[in-house]
Amino acid sequence: MELDYLKKHYNVLDLDKALEKLKNGTLPPYSLAITFDDGYKNFYDYAFPILKQHNLTATFFLPTNFILEKTPLWTDRLEFLGLKDDAKIRQGLKTHVDESRNLELIRLENQHQKKLDNFVGSNSVYAPLSLEMIKEMQNAGMKFGAHTQSHPILSKVNTLRLFNEIKGSKNLLEQNIGEISNVFCYPNGQPEDFNQDVLGGVKKAGFKWAITTIEGMNTKDTNPYILKRITMDNIKDQTTFVFALSGFRSFLRRLKSL
């Protein structure tokens, strides 16, 4: 139903093409692009068939350690523990550098004698896309982009590691799946998760654009390395979907923050 609404009321474009048009001032009114972060197998199982059915494309951003090495994302390791104060712990762990975050996760896993170390059975909800799935999706018009190697908060890593996370993920994806998007995607993507060093690393790695999870719409004057998005988390009905998509939700949030 949501994709029917998009096709009826919006110009749904390939992300790179949409950004080129935005830059050149030729973007049609009511244009948007569809994106997904992290590269879960669920995208192949559920999103991909629906996108194909509606003849739409989307761009999927992949952390290479998750895709190529089957290393679970740290957020999934935490969620898997099923802790009552999961949200509070998650928010706190985002402020850690990787080493201390991993040590705390290991402590929690040992404490609760539970660890996400495979994607079998009920754990399959955390499974990554395979290269075979990605190839099939590419052949059907889906696009893929870089989302770091290990999905760290980039503002928390040192300069050498920073460039490896950005450029390294680009190189690995190109080696394994061929041409990728010219758009980079920041993990977590809030203002505190990137800084001028991160933006510089993205430019140096050869990306034309980068996307955040900051709510809002983009114009020709938007910084190409701090592009906004409209997230669809916790959308439970058509009315909320339309409300968020219109940009009115982000407008109200800005008003509340004044």
Strands (E) in the chain, as ranges, are: 11-12, 31-32, 35-37, 59-62, 143-146, 183-185, 209-215, 227-229
Report the share of the chain in percent with pLDDT over 90: 73
Q: Where are the domains of the chain?
A: 2-70+128-257
Residues 227-249: what's their mean pLDDT?
77
pTM of the predicted structure, to 2 decimals? 0.92
Q: How far apart are CA 251 and CA 76, in angstroms?
A: 31
pLDDT value, residue 108? 94
Q: 192: buried, middle or exposed (CB in 10 Å: 19+, 13-18, 0-12)?
A: exposed
DSSP 8-state secondary structure symbol assigned to residue 226:
S
pLDDT digits (tens, 9 = 90+) for 85-141: 888 999 888 888 888 899 999 999 999 999 999 999 999 999 999 999 999 999 999
pLDDT, residue 146, reads 98
* Cβ–Cβ under 8 Å, residues 41 and 21: no
CATH number of 2-70+128-257: 3.20.20.370
Q: What's the rounded Cα separation, in Å, for the pair 209 and 125?
A: 30
For 214, the 3-state DSSP assignment is: strand
pLDDT bucket at 7, cuts 50 / 70 / 90: confident
**What is the predicted pLDDT for the residue at 198?**
96
pLDDT digits (tens, 9 = 90+) for 60-87: 999 999 999 999 999 999 999 999 888 8
Residue 76 has what pLDDT?
Answer: 95
Question: What values do phi and psi take at 13, rounded to 5?
Answer: -120, 160
Token pair, residue 188, equals 């977590």
Once rounded to an integer, what is the mean pLDDT over residues 44-72? 95
